[in-house]
Structure 1
Amino acid sequence: MSYPAGGSPEPGDHAASGPGLLARVRDRRLVGAPSRAQVIAYGASSFPSSLLSQTFSAFVVYFYVEHLGVSAGWVAGAMVAHGILNAVLNPLVGAVSDRRRTRWGRRVPWIGLGIVPLVVAFSLVWMPPPFGPTGLVAWFLVVVAVYDVAYVAVVLNISALFPEVFRTTAERARGNSPRQIFGLVGMILGTAGAPLLYGTIGWTWMAVALGVVSLGFFVWSLAGMVERPVDEAAVREREAGVGLRDQLRYTFANRAFVTYVLGSLLLQSTTSVVLAAVPFYVRYVVGGAEADATFLLAPIFVAAVPSILGWSWVVRRVGPRTAMLWVIAVYGLATTLYLLPTTVLGAALAGLAVGVGVAGLMQVLEVALAQVIDDDERRTGLRREGMYFGANGFVVRGSVIVQAVLVAAVLGASGYVEGAASSVVQPESVATGVRLLLGAVPVGLAVLAFGCFWLYPLRGRGDGDGEVPVAEAIADAAASPTASDPLPR
């Protein structure tokens, strides 16, 4: 519920403004550093976010095609629509979240109101009525649209709270560690736990079980969703005065953001290529069974969990930009190890090194984006976390396209025969192509990402210690809005 600029409640809201529990929750504001309990609670939100998204992305096509018998082409079309809607929603929801301030805050209302629809929509994806193929596709489109809207509303606003809850690089590095660890656990369980559930209790009860667990974690995480006090009367009108078009125009004119988001796109494309290439690598390079893909992926996650804590220390010592350059170097060099193994065990050991780099990406990317947002506030006088996380979400969806193009190009150039039966022997060039896909293509993407972050202009540790060189600051100031004029010129 929103209120006039003066902050007075509407008629009939007197009970809500009393000293009851609801009013105390509504009026919570964070001053100073968050407590340990708030840090852990906020981080817990990544577990259900990752659990739901990983389960959905990994198994929804299999469920509708193999279990329900829907045409693979129709499901593919529905998934394309899902991807487009998700990409478009990110900047739209981010812009609206930035401009709409209520007595409950800007982010918390979206999170609180979106949790139940998100969990219910996710569960309904796996509980279709007994429709025919056309009806099932229609059901999928409608339910997944609700899921997309709720997921973006909840997860984007949780992410947008990150730079607000944690205000210094040291706080962000420490606060991001439990968040990423929770996310990794959710990712692992979404990949390995879902088959165990649907194989023993069925798809419907799997959906119910995951929905109930996710709801419990989301409710717990609300204890860490606390916004900071602001002079609402002073900023409300200026926030509302920046329309979506101006938001987008200024965001993508921000040099720090452009170099960041291009580097982020390249790095996430690298990870997508690695994950997509693993099944081919197992079969055609190291000669393992399809199930051995698990033994290549598991070491990545195992190594990533403790490495997150190590990268947290690095970020606090050297700052986001330098830490990111180190991460890219480690990640790029680690992927070259896939050029060497001839056995599943050797490839699994290479995965341990890759996991160290993956942990660095998870730890540093959001800390760097928070630094971009801080710099934007110094230039505009506005906190625009929603727009920046939304624009970032829109761009990095392109990693799926980059992955598809690169995988198809390398396999095609190597002579790979699509859909070949297991009795058909692929050309020897396929093994070489797949080995390069996993051990050389990621290096090329990492080199380009290194160049982006080398040009990233925020050079300090992110605590206001002169991130932008004076000459660049003067040049940017001439083309950027000021605190008294938030609109781009």
Structure 2
Amino acid sequence: MSGIVVPVRRRLSNAVTLAYGFGSVAYGAKDAAFGTFLLIYYNQVLGLNSFRVGLVIMAALVLDAFIDPMVGVLSDRTRSRWGRRHPWMYASALPIAIGWLLLWNPPAGSEAFRLGWLFVTAVIVRSAVSCFEVPSQALTPELTTDYDERTRVTAYRYLFGWAGGLSIVLLAYGVLLTARPDYPNGLFNPNGYHNLAIASAVLMVAAILVSALGTHGEIRRLPQVESRQQSIGAVLRELFQTINNRGFLVLILAGVCAYTNQGISYALANYFYAYAWQLGPGALKLLPLTLFVGAGAAFVVAPRLGRNTSKPRAACAFIVAGTLFHMLPYVMRFAHVLPPPGDVRVMVLYPIFALSTALNVSSFILGASMMADVVEESQARTGRRNEGVFFAGSFFVQKCTSGLGIAVAGTILALAGLQDKIDPATAPAGKIDNLILMFILIYLALAMSAAFMFTRFPFGRAEHEARLSGLAAAEREGAPHITD
């Protein structure tokens, strides 16, 4: 690529912001079902060993390390009348739906066969999701260069992402996985998961198409970056030069820790609800609404705090505070200050769940906004805009949520002695305590590592504004100009 291009600094219209944000409903629905229900479905419903299930999903994650950067590079280099990003967004809808339905409907067979099915379909789903989410996220720095507007737009993406995910969780707990005469514990009903797959596939396709169509009119305003034919070696050298960026590497390391924690929490959530808290059907129905209150609070708080203080400092503070509140219910359990499991009064924990969600989601919003700011820092050094590459790395880290997180969760379950089918009513208390203790130790280590990494982020608002001024001056001297 050649030529220095700076997108317009502007506030997006409400219609474009809503359409762009709505696209993350697809990833939210996929992530909630994949992260919250896939392990318990293949383990407790289909009867596969939790450690092996986690290992297979981890193996699929290894392929993501190659797929996501390739999607980012190819997206950056795509040239069409629909721009660089939209052809990928439109093309991803059908493969996502097909792969998703196959994932949740494995044919009868041996454990080895079903593990192989899980691996292949997980790769299909994750690759198809990359083809939408990487180009979609790469639009954030292209739509506007405004430091605060990027945080606002990112907050909408997280709000819709959580809305999509929690709508699937609410549908599962409230309708599809409720208690029935043949399944007193609805979480073990296979038909419920099949119906959940259909509902989430429809939702994902709708979100993708609405977002792509709703932002289609912005294509003419996006950077039209020049390109030239290059050898594979030259492309790889450019890729290495791009990712050899301190800000990018700091965010990737922080993200690996933070999103892996989220993945472990998602994968173990149903085990905690069933074994540690023994939540009844009514409590489970209210849980998604409680978590959405937390996500909604983050939507309001994160952009405001980002305007009034340093994004890296605020993200660090959110992680530390969010971790303390996330751990509090388990500490209270060990201190014997909670009602017994199964008692409706356990719902006293719900405000704590909402507050920890608000704090942790706020840190993710600010982290994603900082990734958008890295684009211009890299452009100033290399003369290239590689939004796709940066957000491919960011998205790969996010998918650690449902890959590495599930693998770690499966290992924790195995070490705690809960790797096979076991009735929550007869599960030994010692095994549940071991599960919680291992979770606490791993979560604390990863969270504090993420918080520390945010303190190492190399620039803030002042540096970003100075960099934009320099790029704009260089653009006026002869580089292509994008007008609004």
| TM-score bucket (shorter structure) | 0.7 to 0.9
Q: What is the match of residue 34 of structure 1? A: 12
1:83 pairs with 2:61: yes
Amino acid at match of 2:17: V
Q: What is the match of residue 268 of structure 1? A: 259
Label 1:458 to 1:294 Cα distance change in 2 as closer, same or farther (>3 A).
farther
Q: What is the match of residue 449 of structure 1? A: 450
- The C-alpha deviation readout for 1:424-449, integer Å capped at 9, x for no partner, is 64449x638726844x6544433322
How big is the shift at 1:78?
Answer: 4.7
The one of 436, 448, 455 aligned to 1:434: 436
Q: Which moved more, 1:130-139 or 1:344-353?
A: 130-139
- Asked whether the 8 Å contact 2:150–2:369 carries over to 1, the reply is yes
Residue 12 of structure 2 aligns to a residue in which SS? coil
The one of 74, 80, 83 aligned to 1:102: 80
How big is the shift at 1:184?
Answer: 0.8
The one of 328, 347, 352 aligned to 1:350: 352
Residue 228 of structure 2 aligns to a residue in which SS? helix
Q: What is the match of residue 210 of structure 2? A: 220
Q: What is the match of residue 141 of structure 2? A: 163
Cα distance in 1 between the residues matched to 2:299 and 2:233: 37
Cα distance in 1 between the residues matched to 2:118 and 2:405: 26
Cα distance in 2 between the residues matched to 1:321 and 1:403: 28
- Asked whether the 8 Å contact 1:299–1:348 carries over to 2, the reply is yes
Q: What is the match of residue 378 of structure 1? A: 380
How big is the shift at 1:188?
Answer: 0.7
Q: Which moved more, 1:262-271 or 1:206-215?
A: 206-215
- Asked whether the 8 Å contact 2:377–2:464 carries over to 1, the reply is no
1:185-196 to structure 2, matched below 5 A, reads 185-194=163-172, 196=175
1:66-465 to structure 2, matched below 5 A, reads 78-126=56-104, 132-133=109-110, 141-194=119-172, 196-197=175-176, 206-222=196-212, 223-225=214-216, 226-227=218-219, 228-230=221-223, 232=225, 235-237=226-228, 243-276=234-267, 278=269, 288-289=278-279, 299-338=290-329, 339-340=331-332, 342-343=337-338, 344-395=346-397, 397-398=399-400, 400-401=403-404, 405=408, 422-423=425-426, 425-427=428-430, 431=433, 434=436, 437-438=439-440, 441-460=442-461, 463-465=464-466
- Asked whether the 8 Å contact 1:267–1:446 carries over to 2, the reply is yes
How big is the shift at 1:172?
Answer: 1.1
How big is the shift at 1:67?
Answer: 6.3
Q: Which moved more, 1:116-125 or 1:204-213?
A: 204-213
Query: Mind listing any 5+ residue stretches in structure 1 that lack a counterpart?
Result: 6-28, 468-483, 485-489
Cα distance in 1 between the residues matched to 2:33 and 2:413: 28
Residue 104 of structure 1 aligns to a residue in which SS? coil
Amino acid at match of 2:373: Q
The sequence identity of aligned pairs, in percent, is: 21
- The C-alpha deviation readout for 1:290-322, integer Å capped at 9, x for no partner, is 766776675333222123211111112224223
How big is the shift at 1:154?
Answer: 0.9
Label 1:294 to 1:250 Cα distance change in 2 as closer, same or farther (>3 A).
farther
Label 1:106 to 1:466 Cα distance change in 2 as closer, same or farther (>3 A).
closer
Q: What is the match of residue 53 of structure 1? A: 31
Cα distance in 1 between the residues matched to 2:388 and 2:135: 7
Amino acid at match of 2:368: E
How big is the shift at 1:90?
Answer: 0.9
Q: Which moved more, 1:190-199 or 1:88-97?
A: 190-199
Q: Which moved more, 1:35-44 or 1:259-268?
A: 259-268
Cα distance in 1 between the residues matched to 2:120 and 2:81: 32
Cα distance in 2 between the residues matched to 1:312 and 1:376: 24
Q: Which moved more, 1:242-251 or 1:144-153?
A: 242-251
- Asked whether the 8 Å contact 1:319–1:462 carries over to 2, the reply is no
Q: What is the match of residue 342 of structure 2? A: none
Amino acid at match of 2:324: L
Cα distance in 2 between the residues matched to 1:69 and 1:288: 21
How big is the shift at 1:250?
Answer: 2.3
Query: Mind listing any 5+ residue stretches in structure 2 that lack a counterpart?
Result: 181-190, 339-345, 469-478, 480-484
Label 1:345 to 1:213 Cα distance change in 2 as closer, same or farther (>3 A).
closer
> TM-score normalized by structure 1?
0.74
Cα distance in 1 between the residues matched to 2:46 and 2:249: 43
- Asked whether the 8 Å contact 2:63–2:123 carries over to 1, the reply is yes
- Asked whether the 8 Å contact 1:330–1:357 carries over to 2, the reply is yes
How big is the shift at 1:406?
Answer: 8.4
Cα distance in 2 between the residues matched to 1:433 and 1:208: 32
How big is the shift at 1:135?
Answer: 6.8
CA RMSD of aligned residues (A): 4.0
- Asked whether the 8 Å contact 1:303–1:352 carries over to 2, the reply is yes
Cα distance in 2 between the residues matched to 1:424 and 1:62: 16
Cα distance in 2 between the residues matched to 1:72 and 1:333: 28
Cα distance in 1 between the residues matched to 2:414 and 2:399: 22
- The C-alpha deviation readout for 1:395-414, integer Å capped at 9, x for no partner, is 455565477558957995xx
Residue 237 of structure 1 aligns to a residue in which SS? coil
Cα distance in 1 between the residues matched to 2:418 and 2:313: 43
Q: Which has the larger radius of gyration?
A: 1
Q: What is the match of residue 475 of structure 2? A: none
Residue 246 of structure 1 aligns to a residue in which SS? helix
Cα distance in 1 between the residues matched to 2:298 and 2:17: 19
Label 1:431 to 1:229 Cα distance change in 2 as closer, same or farther (>3 A).
closer
> TM-score normalized by structure 2?
0.75
Q: Higher relative contact order at CA 8 Å, sep ≥6: structure 1 or structure 2? A: 2
- The C-alpha deviation readout for 1:13-45, integer Å capped at 9, x for no partner, is xxxxxxxxxxxxxxxx98954321111111110
How big is the shift at 1:357?
Answer: 0.9
Label 1:121 to 1:257 Cα distance change in 2 as closer, same or farther (>3 A).
same
- Asked whether the 8 Å contact 1:299–1:349 carries over to 2, the reply is yes
- Asked whether the 8 Å contact 2:39–2:406 carries over to 1, the reply is no
Residue 461 of structure 2 aligns to a residue in which SS? coil
Label 1:333 to 1:31 Cα distance change in 2 as closer, same or farther (>3 A).
closer
- Asked whether the 8 Å contact 2:99–2:121 carries over to 1, the reply is yes
Amino acid at match of 1:384: N
- The C-alpha deviation readout for 1:426-474, integer Å capped at 9, x for no partner, is 449x638726844x6544433322221111111326742469xxxxxxx
